[in-house]
Amino acid sequence: MVTCGIYHKARILDSSEKLTLVRTMLFEQANKFGWRLQAWAIMANHYHFVALSPESAETLQPMVSAIHKWSAWKLNKIDNTEGRKVWHNYWESRITHQTSWFARLRYVHQNPAHHRVVDNAVDYRWCSQAWLERNANRSFVNTLAQFKTDRINVLDDF
């Protein structure tokens, strides 16, 4: 699981265009580096994703760097703020237990509802909840919905 924050928690991703740009960069770079996205949520000042790594997880840093480099350049172009620092850092955690995996999947799928951006995460276009409900077996969706997320230690005070 990866969390990436915008510098000083600024709400730079404040339009559909910008949210879509970051989502597109995430998808493109994950595909390029061989990471298989399982959950994602892009918010106004941070994003999360859960992914299955390729054989070498050492590609995470170059992948995140590429996302941040190109999205910052494009975001600054949109806002006419050349040279502005956009991304602050990223935090990663390797998930080794199935229970932790399911809880974090649910946490990321539900992140827009957690932050009260929407009542139902399925209505938020920049997270994976609607994708999950369209593509996963209904029994898996129902099972995932039972996992508690209140004890997860995730940096998410955005």
* pLDDT at res. 149: 77
Q: How confident is the model at residue 93 (pLDDT cuts 50, 70, 90)?
A: confident
Residue 156 has pLDDT above 80, yes or no: no
- The answer to whether residue 153 sits within a structural domain is no
Please tell me the total count of domains within the chain.
1
CATH code for the domain in which residue 123 is found = 3.30.70.1290
- The answer to whether residue 156 sits within a structural domain is no
Mean pLDDT of the chain: 93
For residue 104, give the nearest of 112, 95, 113, 116 by alpha carbon: 95
- The answer to whether residue 111 sits within a structural domain is yes
pLDDT in tens, 51-69: 999 998 999 999 999 999 9
pTM of the model: 0.92
